Amino acid sequence: MENLLKQLEKVVSQVQHLPSDHQCDDRTPGSKNGILNPHYTILTSHKGYLLSIAVFYQSKEKLKYCIRLYQSTLTRLLDKLHQLKDHCSREYSKINCLKQSAIQMLSELLSFLRKQFPAYFDCNLKVPEVRYLHHRLKFGQIQKEIEHKLILKNINPALLATITHPFADFQQKKKRYYTFRDISYLYGWAEKLDVIARQPHVERDLDKEVSCSAIGYNLNSETCIRYFLQFIGKSYRSKTSSSDQLQKLHFYTKCVKQVFITSPEGYNPKYESLHIILSRWLKQEIKYTRKSSRDNHSLSGITATPQESPGKQKTSMSVSQLACFVKNLIDTGLIATNNKEETLRFFSNHFSTQNTENISIFSLRSKFFKPDNNSISTTKENILKLLNSIQKN
């Protein structure tokens, strides 16, 4: 392995120190990537050696160490070549010709390594810059093709922008760097979208199909999470009744639950899966909607049900004055309570005024927390009357 790595180092060193005044056209006949004869020979010999070490090393740990050492060397050397500037503009200048040939050779070795040793390949390693540029061009083409096909099938524009944003983000290099795992994930997502886009136009819910694919492939980016939460929220809140809202929420819960997860790690391995985030959010919304429905039903029952009964006490105070009076009783400790809401509900249920037989809990609560000046003045007068009455007795 050490000799192989030295050989690769030598290739890069030759490119660095070679004068640019020689011409070359000795490309290997029939080679796909235009690799020069010397490099093609190295490429072939290295592939043979890499296949042989899989048999030679019986220890998986040793094999893993060798593969990752070789991978990190290829990555480092590719970045080193990328940093070299083209010193001559002529098409077949020796330095440019050797540089491109070396890049193609190292890139092919890297692809070969990943294909032959997927269990030992470090997918979390940073992709070399020259390979990032290669994939950036490809993802630009892929995005245009997918968008064109899905637009013809009348997909929701907002959904289309959401599911293709990973390709756009990659081209804009939104992340500080991209790993081999990121590249593989994006190609996998592109393949899934292409399959959907190629299907014949039949009676089917394309938006639902694409959305389920995004959840199943765990497209757990912030953009995607935000889109689904806003879409579902707007959809169920457009219903006027609580029962219709709950029915809509249960429908989305069922759809999410039935999705088959194909990529557990997802777009962002640091985040929870999109499936878990949506499931938990839907559960919370259902719980909140049910509670709100019960509370509204209970309160509407209180206000709508006549509370006039033999035990209901009339008072000469208005609702505002009663609220202010009760507030002072609580504030001074004459009524000890840890639950002001229940105390107000008690007065609402058991008292009536000259003009109001059934005091609304909403009205009493509002005036309790924000007493007006007239009610405060009247309450003072009433308390003074109580004091005068006590003094006379």
pLDDT in tens, 110-121: 999 999 999 999
More confident residue, 159 or 301: 159
Cα 287 from Cα 198, distance rounded (Å):
40
- Residue 11: its pLDDT value, please? 87
Residue 305 inside a domain? The answer is no
- Residue 296: its pLDDT value, please? 61
- Is it the case that residue 221 has pLDDT exceeding 90? yes
Mean pLDDT lowest among 149-163, 205-219, 286-300, 340-354: 286-300
Q: Are residues 154 and 68 part of one domain?
A: no
> Which residue type sits at 138?
K
Mean pLDDT lowest among 34-43, 106-115, 306-315: 306-315
Residue 162 inside a domain? The answer is yes
- Is it the case that residue 33 has pLDDT exceeding 70? no
More confident residue, 319 or 293: 319
pLDDT band at residue 307, thresholds of 50, 70 and 90? very low
Q: Are residues 153 and 9 part of one domain?
A: no
- Residue 251: its pLDDT value, please? 94
- Residue 68: its pLDDT value, please? 94
Q: Are residues 194 and 84 part of one domain?
A: no
pLDDT band at residue 258, thresholds of 50, 70 and 90? very high
Residue 383 inside a domain? The answer is yes
Residue 301 inside a domain? The answer is no
Pair 280, 233: CB distance under 8 Å: no
Cα 87 from Cα 97, distance rounded (Å):
11
Q: Are residues 142 and 104 part of one domain?
A: no
Q: How many other C-beta atoms lie within 10 A of the C-beta of residue 50?
A: 19
Mean pLDDT lowest among 65-74, 224-233, 276-285, 369-378: 369-378
Pair 40, 106: CB distance under 8 Å: no
Q: Single out the residue in 122, 142, 164 at which a domain terminates.
A: 122
Residue 13 inside a domain? The answer is yes
Cα 125 from Cα 123, distance rounded (Å):
6
- The pLDDT of 200-216, averaged and rounded, is 87
Ranges assigned E (strand) in 300-382 = 313-314, 351-352
How confident is the model over 82-137, as pLDDT tens digits? 988 765 545 446 667 788 888 999 999 999 999 999 999 999 999 999 999 999 99
- Residue 305: its pLDDT value, please? 44
- The pLDDT of 242-250, averaged and rounded, is 91
- Residue 333: its pLDDT value, please? 87
Q: Single out the residue in 296, 328, 362 at which a domain terminates.
A: 296
DSSP-derived 3-state class of residue 179: strand
Q: Are residues 381 and 322 part of one domain?
A: yes
C-alpha distances (whole Å) from 146 to each of 158, 199, 263, 266 are 15, 12, 21, 20
| Total number of domains in the chain | 3
> Which residue type sits at 191?
E
Residue 369 inside a domain? The answer is yes
Q: How many other C-beta atoms lie within 10 A of the C-beta of residue 347?
A: 21
Cα 152 from Cα 196, distance rounded (Å):
13
C-alpha distances (whole Å) from 126 to each of 180, 191, 214, 221 are 7, 23, 25, 20
Over the Cα atoms of the chain, what is R_g?
37
- Residue 303: its pLDDT value, please? 47
Q: Are residues 88 and 215 part of one domain?
A: no
Residue 50 inside a domain? The answer is yes
Report the chain's mean pLDDT, rounded to a whole number: 85
The tokens for 361 are 């809990």
Residue 327 inside a domain? The answer is yes
Q: Single out the residue in 90, 122, 154 at which a domain terminates.
A: 122
Q: Could you tell me the residue range of the domain that residue 349 belongs to?
A: 313-392
**What are residue 314's DSSP bridge partners?**
352
How confident is the model over 149-169, as pLDDT tens digits? 999 999 999 999 999 999 999
- Residue 384: its pLDDT value, please? 87
Q: Are residues 66 and 15 part of one domain?
A: yes
- The pLDDT of 365-387, averaged and rounded, is 86
Ranges assigned E (strand) in the chain = 313-314, 351-352
Q: For the range 377-381, what are the long-range contacts, defined as Cβ-Cβ under 8 Å and sequence gap of 24 or more?
A: 378/317, 378/321, 378/324, 379/321, 379/324, 379/325, 379/328
Cα 74 from Cα 177, distance rounded (Å):
17
Q: Are residues 280 and 195 part of one domain?
A: yes
Cα 273 from Cα 250, distance rounded (Å):
20
Q: Are residues 140 and 205 part of one domain?
A: yes
- Residue 18: its pLDDT value, please? 63
- The pLDDT of 332-340, averaged and rounded, is 86
Q: Are residues 267 and 346 part of one domain?
A: no
Q: For the range 337-342, what are the long-range contacts, defined as Cβ-Cβ under 8 Å and sequence gap of 24 or more?
A: 340/368, 341/365
* Highest mean pLDDT, choosing among 11-20, 42-51, 177-186, 317-326: 177-186
Q: Are residues 317 and 203 part of one domain?
A: no
Cα 128 from Cα 179, distance rounded (Å):
9
Q: At 103, which helix (H) or strand (E)? A: helix 94-116
Q: Are residues 292 and 195 part of one domain?
A: yes
> Which residue type sits at 342?
E
The model carries a pTM of: 0.68
